[in-house]
């Protein structure tokens, strides 16, 4: 079957380095699914192309992604691909501030109003931080939204991983539980998810960021389908990329529409229906 | 005159501007009409979308019926044919439909209108699923209302993504979406699998 790559190994390596300049060649190799030698070649290619700069030498060497390049990949930085245990060793100050601002945004919007209407002044009061602290970490409200989307998407990503990483012999009930988890994660952070989707609908620059994030998700799900096909628990007669595209975008639109103000019963039903849909599409008769 | 407005909107949209970004001034200028004429006939931009949708509604109102004709004897090819007819009916209007979705994100009246259109389509697919479950040719495990919603949103958003963003042809989109729908609704129905026992809830 045709091997459709939505992100090239170079692209994935670049994203990894933009996310963590201290990534070792070994980390890149794991991320891309190639040998260390191949990963070393990828990094050399990126350096030759001027997309990455080697900073320092020897064991302490890091790979720096220049600002102009970073600006093109920045929308993808929020995605830490299910933050492996031990990465960073605990919340940084920025994460803490961001967490408080996220809670503040969600409280303010629950009380009525839209993200567009919120002022930075009101936000810092609600989050109990100073204006200068805010501006030390975020350029403006749009920059904050981008960071909040990144944090919320990490959680969505973790919820999707709970589905994707189910053991091959997992049954329909396990898939249902995982999908309810996805719907619940969206519902928990619907304020930011909806603000992000609305921003993408009205602003071309936010749209391309949003679409880049969606591309990564589609790629991840396509990867799951392919590996399931190789292992024999996903039906072999579907195209992984197309199935992943329809699933990801259909779920994105469905979550936006279904989860707005629904109660927990609705979440359970929506999650179950999604799971049964996915079951029939991918696994029925094979898992 | 309304035709000129719509044509102007479509030209601007084709350039990559989103509907929320198009100002009335820009729109009337592109259309070669006066602002005063505009405001005699329309309250605002959303009004233009409403009027446009009302005018094409007739083209679309019964077209989804092709899908509902799928029954116990139908094959995946039949489904594909039905979905192709539906997609082709919507296709000429894709720029303005996308405009409605975009505008719905920021305008309550457009949002209400889009939701009404969607609710209607979802309700009909739900009725189809219920019929099929009763007849044994749709998987009885599926929750009809929620499944209808997921599939309807998948069709609309999938079309936008595959055809408009990724440049797939209509036939390519239809083939992929038909496969998706076939596997979800019909492939595992008792009349095809011969299965009588379904997993317990």
Is A165 in the same domain as A253?
yes
- Flag if A273 and B101 touch (Cβ within 8 Å): no
Q: Is A285 helix (H, G, I), strand (E, B) or coil?
A: coil
* pLDDT tens digits along A240-271: 999 999 999 999 999 988 876 566 778 899 99
pLDDT band per the 50, 70, 90 thresholds, residue A89: very low
Pure H helices in B15-162: 24-31, 35-41, 45-60, 65-68, 76-90, 94-104, 108-135, 144-159
- The interface residues of chain B toward chain A in range 60-99, judged by CB-CB distance below 8 A, are none
Residue A36 sits in which domain range? 9-76
- Residue pair B179/A238 in contact (Cβ under 8 Å)? The answer is yes
A231 located within any domain: yes
Shortest Cα–Cα distance, B51 to chain A (Å): 21
* pLDDT tens digits along B30-81: 999 999 999 999 999 999 999 998 888 877 777 878 888 888 889 999 999 9
Q: What is the predicted pLDDT for the residue at A59?
A: 58
Closest residue of A to B175, CA-based?
A242
Is A60 in the same domain as A171?
no
Last residue of a domain, one of A76, A91, A113: A76
pLDDT band per the 50, 70, 90 thresholds, residue A6: low
Q: How many domains are contained in chain A?
A: 2
Adjacent-strand bridge partners of A63 = A54
Is A263 in the same domain as A148?
yes
Is A72 in the same domain as A147?
no
pLDDT band per the 50, 70, 90 thresholds, residue A62: confident
Find the CATH number of the domain harbouring A265. Answer: 1.10.357.10
Angle in degrees, 0-180, between the axes of helices B76-90 and B144-159, rounded to the nearest 10: 60
Say whether residue B147 is in contact with chain A using an 8 A CB cutoff.
yes
Identify the sign of the CA torsion B159, A76, A182, A123. Answer: negative
Q: What is the predicted pLDDT for the residue at B198?
A: 54
pLDDT band per the 50, 70, 90 thresholds, residue B12: very high
- Residue pair B96/B49 in contact (Cβ under 8 Å)? The answer is yes
- Percent of chain A whose predicted confidence (pLDDT) is above 90: 36
A4 located within any domain: no
Is A49 in the same domain as A151?
no
Is A163 in the same domain as A273?
yes
Take residue B164 and report the two structure tokens written for it: 């408009």
Its pTM stands at 0.75
Neighbours of B131 (CB within 10 A): 14
- E strands in chain A: 53-55, 62-64
Last residue of a domain, one of A26, A57, A76: A76
Whether B156 shows a pLDDT value over 70: the answer reads: yes
How far, in Å, CA of A56 to CA of A64, rounded? 10
A104 located within any domain: no
How far, in Å, CA of B102 to CA of A197, rounded? 10
ipTM over 0.90: no
Shortest Cα–Cα distance, A82 to chain B (Å): 26
pLDDT band per the 50, 70, 90 thresholds, residue A91: low
pLDDT band per the 50, 70, 90 thresholds, residue A72: low
* pLDDT tens digits along A129-173: 999 999 988 888 888 887 888 788 888 888 999 999 999 999 999
Identify the sign of the CA torsion A76, A220, A276, B73. Answer: positive
How far, in Å, CA of B92 to CA of A50, rounded? 44
Select the residue from B18, B180, B181, B186 to test the A interface by mutation, using most A Cβ atoms within 10 A: B180
H or E element at residue A266: helix A264-278
Last residue of a domain, one of A53, A76, A99: A76
Across A59-70, average pLDDT: 68
A227 located within any domain: yes
CA-closest candidate to residue A193, choices A111, A254, A267: A254
Is A184 in the same domain as A272?
yes
How far, in Å, CA of A170 to CA of A172, rounded? 7
CA-closest candidate to residue B134, choices B86, B88, B191: B191
Shortest Cα–Cα distance, A249 to chain B (Å): 6
Q: What is the predicted pLDDT for the residue at B98?
A: 87
How far, in Å, CA of A248 to CA of A94, rounded? 30
Q: What is the predicted pLDDT for the residue at B164?
A: 85
CA B47 to mean position of chain CA atoms: 20
Q: What is the predicted pLDDT for the residue at A87?
A: 39
Shortest Cα–Cα distance, A223 to chain B (Å): 18
Q: What is the predicted pLDDT for the residue at B196?
A: 54
A153 located within any domain: yes
A85 located within any domain: no
Residue with tokens 């639109």: A253
Is A275 in the same domain as A159?
yes
Q: What are the structural domains of chain B? A: 1-42 (1.10.10), 56-193 (1.10.357.10)
A268 located within any domain: yes
Residues 6+ apart with CB under 8 A from A226: A240
Q: Is A55 helix (H, G, I), strand (E, B) or coil?
A: strand
Select the residue from B154, B166, B194, B199 to test the A interface by mutation, using most A Cβ atoms within 10 A: B154
Find the CATH number of the domain harbouring A21. Answer: 1.10.10.10
Q: What is the predicted pLDDT for the residue at A57?
A: 64
- Percent of chain A whose predicted confidence (pLDDT) is above 70: 84
State how beta strands A62-64 and A53-55 pair: antiparallel
DSSP B32: T
């Amino acid at each position: 079957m045709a091997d459709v790559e939505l992100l090239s190994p170079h692209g994935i390596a670049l994203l990894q380095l933009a996310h963590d300049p201290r990534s070792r060649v070994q980390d890149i190799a794991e991320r891309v699914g190639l040998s260390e030698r191949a990963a070393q070649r990828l990094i050399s290619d990126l350096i030759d192309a001027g997309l990455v700069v080697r900073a320092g030498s020897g064991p302490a060497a890091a790979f720096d992604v220049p600002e102009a390049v970073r600006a093109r990949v920045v929308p993808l930085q929020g995605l830490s691909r299910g933050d492996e245990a031990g990465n960073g060793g605990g919340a940084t100050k920025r994460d803490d501030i961001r967490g408080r601002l996220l809670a503040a945004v969600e409280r303010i919007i629950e009380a009525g109003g839209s993200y567009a209407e919120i002022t930075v002044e009101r936000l810092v009061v609600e989050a109990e931080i100073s204006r200068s602290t805010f501006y030390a970490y975020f350029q403006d409200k749009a920059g904050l939204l981008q960071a909040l989307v990144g944090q919320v998407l990490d959680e969505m990503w973790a919820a999707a991983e709970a589905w994707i990483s189910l053991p091959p012999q997992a049954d329909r009930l396990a898939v249902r539980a995982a999908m309810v988890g996805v719907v619940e994660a969206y519902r928990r952070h619907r304020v930011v998810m909806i603000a992000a989707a609305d921003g993408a609908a009205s602003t071309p620059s936010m749209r391309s960021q949003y679409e880049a994030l969606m591309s990564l998700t589609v790629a991840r799900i396509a990867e799951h389908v392919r590996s399931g096909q190789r292992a024999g628990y996903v039906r072999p007669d579907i195209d992984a990329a197309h199935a992943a595209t329809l699933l990801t975008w259909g779920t994105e639109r469905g979550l936006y529409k279904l989860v707005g103000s629904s109660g927990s019963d609705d979440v359970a039903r929506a999650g179950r229906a999604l799971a049964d849909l996915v079951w029939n599409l991918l696994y029925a008769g094979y898992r | 005159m309304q035709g000129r407005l719509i044509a102007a909107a479509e030209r601007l949209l084709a350039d990559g501007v989103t509907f929320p970004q198009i100002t009335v001034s820009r729109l009337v200028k592109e259309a070669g009409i006066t602002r005063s004429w505009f405001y005699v006939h329309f309250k605002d931009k959303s009004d233009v979308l409403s009027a446009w949708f009302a005018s094409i509604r007739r083209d679309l109102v019964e077209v989804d019926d092709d899908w509902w004709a799928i029954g116990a004897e139908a094959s995946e090819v039949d489904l594909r044919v039905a979905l192709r007819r539906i997609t082709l009916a919507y296709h000429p209007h894709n720029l303005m439909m996308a405009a409605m979705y975009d505008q719905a994100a920021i305008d309550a009246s457009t949002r209400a209108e889009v939701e009404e259109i969607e609710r209607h389509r979802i309700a009909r697919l739900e009725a189809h699923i219920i019929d099929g479950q009763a007849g044994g040719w749709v998987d009885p495990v599926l929750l009809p209302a929620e499944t209808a919603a997921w599939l309807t949103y998948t069709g609309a958003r999938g079309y936008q993504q595959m055809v408009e963003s990724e440049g797939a042809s209509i036939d390519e989109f239809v083939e992929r979406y038909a496969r998706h729908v076939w596997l979800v609704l019909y492939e595992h129905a008792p009349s095809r699998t011969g299965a009588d026992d379904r997993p317990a809830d």
